[in-house]
Every structure is written in C-alpha cells, then in structure tokens.
Amino acid sequence: MSHRLSLVLVLSTTLGLANCPRQSKSPSRELQGAINEAIAGQPGTIVVVSVTSQQVLASHNLELASAQLVRPGSTLKPFVLLALLDSGKLDPSQHFLCKRPLYIGNIRMDCSHTTEIVEPDADDAIAYSCNSYISQAASRLGPRELVEALRRAGLDSPTGLGKPEAAGHVNRLTTSEEIQLAALGERGVEVTPLELLEAYRKLALRKRTENTQLSKAVFEGLEHAITYGSAHAAYIDGMHIAGKTGTATAPNTARTHGLFVGYAPADQPEIALVVYLPQGHGLDAAKLAQPVFAEYANFVNKR
C-alpha cells in the first residue's frame, strides 16, 4: 500500500470518528434537562452532586438549597441508627413494637406505614420509616451522643457548594423527649437541603468503602425504602437506588414540607440527590426524584 493511500485512510478514519456522536463523560446535561422538566413551575429545589468529587452536576434553585433552613424529618433516621449501631447500643436484628398512637410529650408522631408492620427491625425501620422504632431506639443514646453524631454527619456545617450559604444547627438536648423528637427530625435540628445532601454524599462514600454487618442494615433499609417502602415513588427499572423521604412541619405552623435524599447506583454510588419542596410531603419529593434517577440510568446504560 502506498504512503499516500495510507494517509488517506488514516485521515478518513480520523474524520469519521470525529463526526460520530460521543457519549459525554458527565451526565450534567441529561440531568439538568430532567430536573428542569420535573420541577417546572413548582417552588422548590433539586440538586445533584458527584459522590466522589462533590461537584454539582445539575441543579434548580441552588440558592434556596443553600440558604433555607428546614427541619429534616425522617431523613435523619439513617444517621440516628448508625450512631446506635456504631456505639454497640443496638443489634440490627432486634425488633421493637410499633406503638400507635405515638405521643412524645404532647406531640403526636404516629407512623404513616401500614398497621401490618408490627415489630420492625433496623432494616424495616428505615424502609418503612417507623417513628416508633426510631424513638424507642434513640432513647438509648445520651443527649451528647446524638448531637455529636449529627454534627459528625455535617448537619451543622456549610458545604461550600453554595454562596452565600447558611449553617444548620443541632441544639443542645437534655430530656428523653428532646432526644426522641430530634431523632425524628421534628425538633432541635434544622439544616439546609445542601447540608442534608452532603451528609448523604458522605453516607454514599461510606457505602462504597465499607461492608460490615452493622451498617448493612442501614444501607439495605435505604434500598428497601425505594424497592417497596416509603420512598417507592422514586423507584426506577434497571438500576438499584437508595434513598429516604422526609416530611416535617415548619416552626410555628401546621404546614409541612417534603424532602427526598438518595444516591445511585445503590451498590457503588456515583451521584447523590436532594429534593426539597416548601409545601408538601416526602412522597411528593420522591416523585420528582424519580425522573432524574431514570435519566441517570439511561445515561449509564449508554456508556
């Protein structure tokens, strides 16, 4: 073959490859499109970050996510359980009777799951978001232990992802009632959606590097919340994801806000996501997360 013909073939091949559509290494464009469509016309925020780099991949209303302080509701439950498991104060296979009605002081905190869930274990407590289980288990923690666990998770520290950025706070706890209500994210703790996202990003990093029997109950509970539990509205075909809903009241009002925080893929997380709706429930937030996860799964399948 002549040198001239070889050069023509090389140039033709190179030009042909250059003109072929390439799959982007980052899903930012796809995720941004899914976010815009999911939340169109609604107040609220959605933010997606890379688990390993912390980079913001896509967002809507990042300013709200970085400045709005909210009660986290049930999204705190994984961190409460990890504090109990890490300290050896809870066996993940232990069952607690789900008490109804559930009063903590004069505040009624009944579970929203079906009455068929009678004696959940740690996995079930996350999957079905059992207030009764968490409140009883959290009573084993000293007030300082719970506060320190939530602070270690970064729930009172700005993330650096937003400017300007508010700092959440974890109040000093003294009574058993205060511990239980804080563990349920209903009193004594306020965070920004970004702080909550960062806490779950770190949780996802722990999932990537740790595989112990103790933490397994929490990670599987987060997967089961999506598969058949309280966060099933975020379920997608083709990829296992993990996440948690949260519904909490705003201070001095009966109005509730909705949260969803999660990561994907569940076994080797690459992205983490938060949805916050100023009015609504955790179920509403999970519904908005679903198309974003679906778009990410499509992106991964094309890689």
pLDDT tens-digit profile of 221-238? 999 999 999 999 999 999
Residue 103, token pair as written in the block: 């009063």
1-25 pLDDT, tens digit each: 444 444 333 434 444 434 444 445 7
Q: If you average pLDDT over residues 187-209, what whole number do you get?
A: 96
- Distance from chain centroid for Cα 184: 15
pLDDT of residue 11: 38
List of residues 6+ apart from 45 with CB closer than 8 A? 39, 59, 60, 61, 62, 64, 65, 68, 193, 274, 275, 276
Residue 4, token pair as written in the block: 């001239």
26-85 pLDDT, tens digit each: 899 999 999 999 999 899 999 999 999 999 999 999 999 999 999 999 999 999 999 999
pLDDT of residue 115: 81
Domain definitions of the chain by residue range: 25-302
Phi-psi region of 88 (alpha: psi -120 to 50; beta: other; left: phi over 0): left
Residue 138: pLDDT above 90?
yes
pLDDT of residue 238: 92
pLDDT of residue 41: 87
Q: Residues of 25-63 as b/e, b for ≥16 C-beta within 10 angstroms? A: eebbebbbebbeebbeebebbbbbbbbeebebbbbbbbe
DSSP secondary structure letters along 229-286: STTGGG--TTS--EEEEEEEEPTTSS-EEEEEEEEESSSS--EEEEEEESSS-HHHHH
Q: If you average pLDDT over residues 152-178, what whole number do you get?
A: 92
210 or 265, higher pLDDT: 265
Q: What are 49's strand-pairing partners?
A: 56, 272
Taking the C-alpha atoms of residue 158 and residue 143, their distance in angstroms, rounded to an integer, is 23
Query: What is the percentage of the chain residues whose pLDDT exceeds 90?
Result: 78
pLDDT of residue 16: 44
Residue 89, token pair as written in the block: 């104060």
Residue 153: pLDDT above 80?
yes
Residue 104: pLDDT above 60?
yes
List of residues 6+ apart from 13 with CB closer than 8 A? none
pLDDT of residue 24: 53
> pTM of the full predicted structure?
0.90
DSSP secondary structure letters along 172-216: ---SHHHHHHHHTTSSSEEB-HHHHHHHHHHHHHHHHH---HHHH
112 or 139, higher pLDDT: 139
112-121 pLDDT, tens digit each: 888 888 899 9
The second-level CATH assignment, the architecture, of 25-302 is: 3-Layer(aba) Sandwich (3.40)
Q: At what angle do helices 131-138 and 176-183 cross, to 10 degrees?
A: 140
3-state helix, strand, coil in the chain (%, to 5): 45, 15, 40
